Structures are given as C-alpha cells and as structure tokens.
Amino acid sequence: MNIPAELKYTKSHEWIRREDDGTVTVGITDHAQEALGDIVFLDLPDAGRVVAAGEECAVVESVKAASDIYAPVAGEIVAANDAALDAPESVNADAYANWLFKLKPANAADVDALLDAAAYAEIAADD
C-alpha cells in the first residue's frame, strides 16, 4: 500500500501535507482512490470558505459511487486544484500529486494531532 511517511492522514482517507507557508495541502489517499475506482467528477470548495474540522467540503465521484471529503482541521480554504477538476482521472493516476484543496489551519497544532503514516496504514489494512 502506498502511504508516504512524510504525510499526515485522517480516518476518512484524506492525506495532509504541511507547506512552508503555513497552509496544508489535502487530497485522498491511494487506498481511497483504489477503493472508489475510476473517478469522473470532483466538486471542490471555493477559496475563502471557512470550514470546521470534519465538515464536508468536497465530493469525489467515481463511476460507481460518490464520496464526501472532509476538512481535516478547522481553517479557511485558500485554493482548489482546478487542474484536477478538469481531469478527475488524474487522482486515480497519482493520488498524492493530484491534490484537491489547500487550507490555512485556524490552529497549526491541530495538524500535529492527525494520524501518522503507521496509524493510517493500520486503518487502511482493516478497511
């Protein structure tokens, strides 16, 4: 299973990368894209939207199912990946390169509390 060690994770299969500018980049894990199958549609949040931790803020739809994507921590959306919007299948091809949105956390420490790769690997293995 492809679970990069340097990323943080959620139980709901998002990955989170800390950026130098204090924002975080969010996508879905390789395990999640494989479970969903061919992805054909993304609905991404607008920049400026303020979200609570665990709030539904994006949708990934494959041929077979729709899956809600949750904000991993509270904060403000600063960008959505328009390139992925136009090519949803890119998330299947590389779920870690093709992120969904960037968020400025309200509290940077919230990110530390997310799952590390080892903890997520256990969750994904049980899935």
Partner 1 sequence: MARCTPLHAVHVAAGARMVDFAGWDMPVNYGSQIEEHHAVRSDAGMFDVSHMLALDLTGADATPFLRTLLANDVAKLTVPGKALYSCMLNAEGGVIDDLIVYYFAPDKFRIVVNAGTADKDVARMRKQIARTGANVSLDAHRDLAMIAVQGPNARAKTWHAIPGSESASAGLKPFFAAQVGDMLIARTGYTGEDGFEITLPAAQAPALWNALSAAGVAPCGLGARDTLRLEAGMNLYGQDMDEATSPLNAGLSWTVDMKDIDRNFIGRAALETSPASQKVIGLVLLERGVLRAHQTVFTDAGEGETTSGTFSPTLQQAIAFARVPLELAEGSTVEVDIRGKRLRARTVKLPFVRNGQALI
Binding partner 1 by CB under 8 A: which of 66, 113, 119, 125?
A: 66
Q: Is 124 helix (H, G, I), strand (E, B) or coil?
A: helix
Q: Is 12 helix (H, G, I), strand (E, B) or coil?
A: coil
Find the part of the chain contacting partner 1 (CB under 8 A) among 12-20, 21-29, 55-63, 105-113: 55-63
Binding partner 1 by CB under 8 A: which of 12, 17, 18, 43?
A: 43
CA distance 82 to 91: 12
Query: DSSP assignment of 77-112, as one string?
Result: EEEE-HHHHH-TTHHHH-TTTS--EEEEESSTHHHH
The reply to whether 46 sits near partner 1 by the rule CB under 8 A is no
CB of 108 to partner 1, least distance (A): 32
Instruction: List interacting residues with partner 1 (CB under 8 A).
Output: 34, 37-38, 40-41, 43, 59, 61, 63-64, 66, 92
